A and B are shown apart, each in its own frame.
Chain A
C-alpha cells in the first residue's frame, strides 16, 4: 500500500532524514520507533508532503506521490494525524469533522459523525463544544476522527499516546485495534513501547534519520539488545 525508499529531507541546511525506507501493507499496522528527535515526525510529514522530500521515492497505492502538494496526497486516501493535534479551536466538534469530510470512494463504507461517535463515545457528548475547550485526550480523539472523515485508506498517526493518562492510552489502543479490524492501514509513530506492542504488527526503528532495524513486533520484544541500543533513554 505504501512503499518509501531512500527518503531524505532537510530543514534549511540541516539534513534530518538521510535514508528512510519502509513499507506498510494493506490492513497492516506498522510502528515507527525511535528516540526524541530521531526523525519520526519528519518522516510522516515528508510522506504527507508537508516537508518537501529532497530525495527518494514514495509510492502510495501504485502512484508516486513525492513532491505533490498535501491536499492531493490526502485526496488519494492518505490521512495525517499530527503530533500537536492541531484542532481548529474556534470550531465546534461537528465543524471540525465537517472540515475533514470527503466523499467515500465507491465500495468503502463511509465514516460519518455517528459512526465516529460510536468509536469515541466521549466526543458524541460534546458535539457543539469548541475544540479549544476540550481536554488533551478528547482533542486527540477529535483529531483522529477528523482525519477519518476524509475516508482514508492509510492513516499516518503521530504519537497518539503522547501526554495522555494511562486509562486514556488504554482506550486509544482499543480504538486503533477497532480501526485495524475495519481494514484500515496505519503507520504509527511512537515512543511508548507498551502501547506500540499492543497495536502493531511490525516495527521499524529510526535513528538520526536512518532506518536501523526492521522486523516483526514479536522479534523486537524478544531482542533486548536492539531495544537497549535504539530505544532506551
Chain B
C-alpha cells in the first residue's frame, strides 16, 4: 500500500514534467497548426544548457535557479530562431511536410548536441534546499519530487491567467480558432506566432532543465520525451491546455503504476490507452474538430500516363539492374539488394500516402513485423527461407489489418500520431520482450538457404520479388480500386454518395501496404542476416517518408526515384562524415523548402513546362 502511494506520487512528478513539454506543444499547435517534432529537442537543449550554466555559475540558490531559468529562456530564443528561419516559410505546406521539417531539426540538434556536449551522460548537481527527503507513510520521498509535483499546477494556473487575463492571451485563443480572422482585425500574426513559439519553447526548455537534479542528461532525451508528449497532446486533444494537463496526469500515473502491475509492457499500456481514447473520441478528451486550414492545398494533379522519356529511363535502369550485377563486387551487390528492397518499402508507403491521402508516421512497424516474423521463424522453428519469406507479408498484413482498423478512421495529424503510436508499440515489444526477440541485441543468424546464399543469387531473387510487388502496386493504383482510393481521398463525402465505402477502401489499402512492407522487411532480414528493434523505429519510418517525399507523392515513379536517391545519398553521407544526422537533417530542410513536389514532381513539371501541359 505504501509503495503504491509513493509510486503514485512519483507519477505525479513525472506528470508535471510531461505537462510542461506537452503544454508548449499544444499551444504551438493551436495557433500555428504545426506539430513540432523538435519540441523534444527543446527539452533536451534545456537540460544541456542548464547543465552548462549550473556547473559554470557559482554554487548556491542563485547559481542553480538562475541557471535553470536562463536555460529555459535560452531555449525560447532558439525557438524564435527556428520559427523565423524555418517554420514561417512552411505554414502553408501540407502537414506531413511540416512534421518532416521539424524532424529535420531534431536530427540537426542531435548532432550539434553531440558536438557541443559529447556522447557521455552528464550528471548535474542536486537542487540547493531540496536535497533531502520527507517521510510519507514511513517511507522517504525526495523533496525535489515534491517540488516538481507543485510545478505542474502552478504553471497551469499561470498559463490560465495568461490566456484569460491578458490581451495577448485572448489573441492567442482567438487565433487558435480562426487565425485569418484575427489577421483581418489588424493583428500581426507573425508576431503572435513567434511569441507563442517562444513561450512553447521556454516551457519545454524549463521541463528539460528541471530534470537536471533528477536524471542524467543524454542524447536520447529528445525522442523519449517527444513520443510521450505526442501521446499526451493527442489524448488530451490537440490545442487544449486542460486536456494536456488531464492527459499528462493520466499518462504519468499509468507509467508509474503500470510498472507495479506489468513491468515489461508499460509502454504498450500507454499506447493502448491512447488508441482506445482516439477511437472513442477521435479528437482527444477535450479537443474539438479543427477547421481545415484556410486556403487549403491546391488540388493535386491526377496520376496520368507516364511521360515517354521516363519510360525509356526506367527500362534502361531495369536493364542495367539485370545485366550489370554479375560484374559487381560484394559490396555493390549488397547495396543494390538494399535499394531493391527499399523501393518496395517506399512504394508500399506511397500507396497509402499518395493515392490514399493518409498520413503514416509509423510505416516501419510493418517492415519490422515482416523482418521479425521471418527471423523468429528461422530462430525458433528453424524454418527454411521460403517459409520465412511467405510468413513475413502475412504477419505484416495481419498487423496492418489490426492497426489499420484504428488508424484509417482518423485523418491528418491524428492519423500520423496514431500510426506512430502503433509503431512504437511494436518497437517496444521487440525491445522489451527480450526472451523471445533478443531485445536490443536482436536476432542473429538469419541467413538464406544454401541455394540462395551467393549474393548474386539473393540479389536476383530480391529484385524479382520486389519488381513483381512494385508492378503489382502500380497495377492496383490504376485499377478501379485505385480510382476508388483516390476518389475517397479527394472527397470522402462525394465518394460515399457514389457508393464507395471509404472506410473499407482505406482499410484494405492500409493492409495491402502493410503486406508489401512486410515482404520488404522479410527480404531485408535475410539480406542482413539479422534483425534489430531499429527496424521498427521512428528513424526507419522517417526513411520511408523521406523516400516518398523526395521522389514526389503524386507520381508513380516518385517512390522508386526517391528510394534510389535516398539510399545513394545516405551511403555517401555515412561514408563521408560522422555527422550524417546533421547532413540528413539539412537535406530534409532543403527538400521541404525548395522541392516540395519531390524529384519526380520537379522533373515532370520541367518536362511539361517544355512540352506543354499533359
Chain A contact residues, CB within 8 Å of chain B: 12, 48, 50, 69-71, 74-75, 80, 82, 86, 88-91, 95-96, 98-102, 146-147, 150
A12-B298, A91-B173, A98-B167 known; A71-B181 Cβ under 8 A = no
| Apart from A74-B185, A99-B171: 10 A-B pairs, beta carbons within 8 A | A48-B184, A71-B183, A71-B184, A75-B186, A82-B181, A90-B177, A96-B174, A99-B174, A150-B185, A150-B186
**Closest Cβ–Cβ distance, residue B299 to chain A (whole Å):** 6
Please tell me if the beta carbons of A91 and B174 are within 8 angstroms of each other in the complex.
yes
Chain A residues closer than 8 Å to B178, beta-carbon distance: 86, 88
A82 — which chain B residues lie within 8 A by C-beta? 181, 184
> Please, could you name 5 A-B residue pairs with CB atoms under 8 Å apart, sorted by A?
A71-B187, A86-B181, A99-B171, A102-B186, A150-B185
- Asked if B173 and A80 make an inter-chain contact with CB atoms under 8 angstroms apart, the answer reads no
B188: interface (CB < 8 Å):
yes
Q: Tell me the bound Cα distance from A88 to B181 in angstroms.
A: 9
By DSSP majority rule, is chain B's interface helix, strand, loop, or mixed?
helix
Known contacts A12-B298, A71-B187; decide if A99 and B182 are in contact (CB<8 Å).
yes
Enumerate chain B interface residues (CB-CB to A < 8 A). 167, 170-171, 173-174, 177-178, 180-189, 298-299
A80, chain B: closest CB distance, angstroms: 5
A146's contact among B167, B185, B188, by CB below 8 Å, is which? B185
* Min C-beta distance of B469 to chain A, whole Å: 36
The 5 A-B residue pairs with the shortest CB-CB distance in the complex, in nearest-first order: A74-B186, A88-B174, A86-B181, A99-B174, A70-B183
Q: Are B185 and A100 in contact (CB under 8 A)?
A: yes
| CB nearest neighbor in B for A11 | B295
CA distance A95 to B171 in the complex (A): 9
Report A-chain residues with C-beta under 8 Å of the C-beta of B189.
Answer: 71
Cα distance A50–B177 in the bound complex, in angstroms: 17
A99 touches B180 (CB 8 A): no
Which residues in B have their C-beta under 8 angstroms from that of A147?
185
B177 and A99 contacting across the interface, CB-CB below 8 Å: no
Q: How far is the CA of A25 from the CA of B383 in the complex (A)?
A: 86
Q: Please, which residue of chain B has its CB at the minimum distance from the CB of A95?
A: B170
State how many angstroms separate the Cβ of A189 from the closest Cβ of chain B: 15
Chain A residue numbers with a CB within 8 Å of B299 are 12
Max chain A C-beta neighbours (<10 A), residue from B171, B184, B298: B184
Residue of B nearest to A77 (CB): B186
For residue A206, give the distance in angstroms from its CB to the closest CB of chain B.
21
CB distance from A12 to the nearest CB of B (A): 5
In the assembled complex, the CB of A218 is this many whole angstroms from the nearest CB of chain B, namely 33
User: Considering only CB atoms, which chain B residue lies closest to A149 in the complex?
Assistant: B185
Q: With A50-B180, A86-B181 in contact, do A71 and B188 touch (Cβ < 8 Å)?
A: yes
Contacting residues, chain B, for A50 (C-beta < 8 A): 180, 184
> CB-CB < 8 A to A86: which residues of B?
178, 181
Q: How far is the CA of A89 from the CA of B288 in the complex (A)?
A: 12
Residues of A within 8 A of B177 (CB): 88-90
- Chain A residue, CB-CB nearest to B192: A71
Expressed in whole angstroms, the Cα–Cα distance for A74 and B180 within the complex equals 12
Q: Are B184 and A70 in contact (CB under 8 A)?
A: yes
Chain A nearest Cβ from B572, distance in angstroms: 39
Report how far A86 CA is from B181 CA in the complex, Å.
7
Assess whether B170 is in contact with A80, with CB atoms less than 8 Å apart: no
Q: How far in angstroms is the closest Cβ of chain A from B608?
A: 15
Q: Please give the distance in Å from B173's CB to the nearest CB on chain A.
A: 6
Q: In the docked arrangement, what's the CA distance between A80 and B185, Å?
A: 7
Contacts of B180 in A (CB 8 A): 50, 70
Chain A residue at minimum C-beta to C-beta distance from B176: A90
How long is the Cα–Cα vector from A206 to B186 in the complex, in angstroms? 28
Q: For A70, what are the chain B residues with a Cβ–Cβ distance below 8 Å?
A: 180, 183-184
Residues of chain B contacted by A71 (CB below 8 angstroms): 183-189
- Known contacts being A12-B298, A98-B167, is A80 close to B174, with CB within 8 Å? no
Within the complex, the shortest CB–CB distance from A187 to chain B, in Å, comes to: 15
A80-B184 contact given A88-B174, A90-B173, A91-B173, CB 8 Å threshold = yes
Q: How far is the CA of A82 from the CA of B182 in the complex (A)?
A: 12
A48 surroundings in chain B (CB, below 8 A): 184
Complex Cα spacing A100 to B167, Å: 10
When C-beta atoms are compared, the residue in chain A nearest to B291 turns out to be A86
Residues of B within 8 A of A100 (CB): 185-186
Q: Closest residue to A85 on the B side, CB-wise?
A: B181
CA A101 to CA B171, docked complex, whole Å:
11
- Chain A residues within 8 Å of B173, by CB: 88, 90-91, 95
Given the complex, which residues of B lie within 8 Å of A69, measured CB to CB? 183
Nearest B residue to A94 via CB reads: B170
User: Smallest CB-CB separation from B182: which chain A residue?
Assistant: A99
Closest-CB distance, A96 to chain B (whole angstroms): 8
